[in-house]
Amino acid sequence: MKNIVLTGFMGTGKTAVGRELARILSMKLVDVDTEIEESEQTTINEIFGQFGEPGFREIETAMIKKIAAGMNLIISTGGGAVLKQENMDILRENGVIVCLTASPETILRRTGTSNDRPLLQVENPLDKINQLLNFRRPFYEKADIMIDTENKTPLRIAEEIIEKIKVA
């Protein structure tokens, strides 16, 4: 089976939905950010602090190349992975790209208490979310399948993804 690649903004449910998909389909879940932290032996926040976003994106692309070579995986990407066409091309070779969406308010509610979101460490996180979503929307819309996660459980979202992949 092709990989199922979960993209979308932070807080849209990629990790929780990925766990459900992995359980239902008996596939392995691989989280790109977790793999980066293990490989680099540091946190995403520290990588951003040391190398900035451009440095992080280079590390991210190298990890995506490594992970995407596998098969039968659920791959959960970081929210900004879609910004590089190279990442999307690599992920699409062996995978179906699914973008999870949510409203800015829902995203803030889901991420608001986390200090692990370097791009939201600003005075007005809702404004930042809106700004980033508006910029990234055209990139997210390049996904093969779009799924709105508002008011849905991770299980329901996983079931929707499975249904759409069978049709696709």
Q: Please give the model's pTM, rounded to 2 decimal places.
A: 0.91
DSSP codes, the chain: --EEEEEESTTSSHHHHHHHHHHHHT-EEEEHHHHHHHHHTS-HHHHHHHHHHHHHHHHHHHHHHHHHTSSSEEEEPPTTGGGSHHHHHHHHHSEEEEEEE--HHHHHHHHTT-S--GGG-SS-HHHHHHHHHHHHHHHHTTSSEEEE-TT--HHHHHHHHHHHHHH-
Write out residues in the chain with pLDDT < 50, as ranges. none
For the chain, give every domain's residue range.
3-167
Reported as a single tens digit per residue, the pLDDT across 44-84 is 889 988 999 899 999 999 999 999 999 999 999 988 899 99
The second-level CATH assignment, the architecture, of 3-167 is 3-Layer(aba) Sandwich (3.40)
Task: Give residue 1's pLDDT.
Answer: 79
Task: Give residue 119's pLDDT.
Answer: 56
